[in-house]
């Protein structure tokens, strides 16, 4: 049988057409994969939707939506940030929560203010701090001034009750486990009854909560992990210190149901692979019995 071949220089190895095409195909695939990692996937922010069933939920809170923004990592990731703002404008959620690492340095204060000025909830916009804000010098004092200038409430071991038609939803912000000083008892409201959603940056906190706390939230929302950010099939998922055993999505074997967002931006390496950015939208639903 005749074999198509490409002849090299004298004494060089004969290259069959199949081997040539396989090599060319592998090079094209690698280039396409790199393009997706650095140029396509980091900008493709997906909206995920989740119901939070709550027994005895007041009628005025039934259907209330919470948009969860985490790990934007400004001033980088501008394309993903703009995509997120477009989603938020379309969703018009009643509450927007920002669970840390929204920016990386104190010098990014203007970018942070511009983003959060537009990332607004119809009723309230709440923020907590992450490890990158502390690391970049955007501590509580600096962050509080930036957020307050655009009408965002920063909660550091504190809570805020949002009144909705005579019923209240209490947002509890717990400081970052890795670089802050989390104090859950100080964060809780004096009257622990009613519906609570807890916010924190590093999800490992969920495995460190004492069992004798006076109340439990309907859900805990966290970020930090980026979902692994670059996920190579067949290899373990890398997550930063503070993630604990958590990677992404729902965990229901914790103190309260925990949701870990894949986040919006990238850190260190400005790429994502098989792990697109995420904007989770949570809807409170009245349940007849506890889930």
Residue-wise pLDDT for 32-73, tens only, equals 576 788 889 999 999 999 999 999 999 999 999 999 999 999
pLDDT class for 160, splitting at 50, 70, 90?
very high
CA-derived radius of gyration, the chain: 23
Q: Could you report the per-residue pLDDT of 198-221, keeping only the tens digit for each? A: 999 999 999 999 999 999 999 999
Averaged confidence pLDDT in the chain: 90
Question: Measured on CA atoms in the order 221, 225, 226, 227, is the torsion positive or negative?
Answer: negative
pLDDT tens for each residue of 217-257: 999 999 999 999 999 999 999 999 999 999 999 999 999 99
Work out the angle at residue 200's Cα, subtended by the Cα atoms of residues 219 and 131, and round it to the nearest 5 degrees. 160
The pLDDT value given to residue 15 = 59
CB 281 within 8 A of CB 67: yes
Whether the pLDDT of residue 12 is over 60: the answer is no
Which has the closest alpha carbon to 48: 197, 240, 200, 260?
260
Q: How far apart are CA 241 and CA 112, in angstroms?
A: 24
What is the pLDDT confidence band of residue 4, given thresholds at 50, 70 and 90? very low
Q: In what order do the strands lie in the sheet with 278-287?
A: 46-55, 278-287, 65-69, 95-99, 124-128, 153-154
Closest CA to 83 of 45, 111, 40: 45
If you average pLDDT over residues 107-133, what whole number do you get?
97
Q: How far is CA 237 from CA 131, 162, 163, 275, 291, in A?
A: 20, 37, 41, 11, 30
Q: What is the pTM for the complete model shown?
A: 0.89
Q: Which of the two residues, 119 and 33, has the higher pLDDT score?
A: 119
CA 61/CA 53 separation, integer angstroms:
11
pLDDT of residue 11: 47
Res 140: pLDDT: 87
Q: Which residues pair with 47 in a beta bridge?
A: 279
């Amino acid at each position: 049988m005749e074999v198509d071949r490409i002849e090299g220089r004298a004494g060089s190895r004969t290259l069959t057409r199949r081997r040539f095409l396989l090599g060319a195909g592998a090079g094209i695939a690698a280039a396409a994969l790199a393009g997706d990692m650095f140029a396509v996937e980091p900008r493709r922010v997906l909206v995920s939707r989740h119901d939070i069933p709550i027994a005895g939920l007041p009628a005025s809170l039934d259907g209330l939506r919470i948009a969860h923004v985490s790990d934007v990592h400004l001033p980088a990731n501008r394309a993903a940030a703009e995509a997120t703002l477009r989603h938020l404008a379309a969703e018009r959620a009643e509450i927007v929560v920002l669970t840390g690492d929204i920016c990386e340095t104190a010098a990014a204060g203007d970018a942070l203010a511009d983003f959060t000025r537009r990332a607004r909830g119809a009723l309230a916009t709440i923020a907590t701090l992450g490890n990158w804000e502390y690391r970049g010098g955007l501590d509580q004092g600096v962050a509080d001034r930036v957020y307050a200038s655009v009408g965002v409430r920063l909660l550091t071991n504190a809570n805020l009750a949002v009144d909705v038609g005579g019923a209240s939803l209490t947002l509890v912000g717990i400081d970052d486990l890795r670089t802050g000083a989390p104090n859950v008892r100080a964060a809780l409201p004096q009257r622990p009854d009613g519906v609570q959603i807890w916010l924190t940056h590093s999800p490992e906190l969920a495995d460190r909560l004492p069992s004798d706390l006076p109340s439990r939230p309907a859900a805990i929302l966290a970020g930090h992990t980026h979902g692994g950010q670059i996920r190579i099939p067949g290899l373990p998922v890398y997550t930063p210190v503070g993630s604990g055993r958590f990677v992404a999505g729902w965990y229901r074997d914790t103190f309260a149901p925990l949701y870990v967002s894949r986040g919006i931006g990238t850190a260190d390496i400005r790429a994502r692979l098989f792990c697109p950015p995420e904007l989770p939208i949570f809807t409170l639903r009245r349940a007849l019995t506890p889930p």
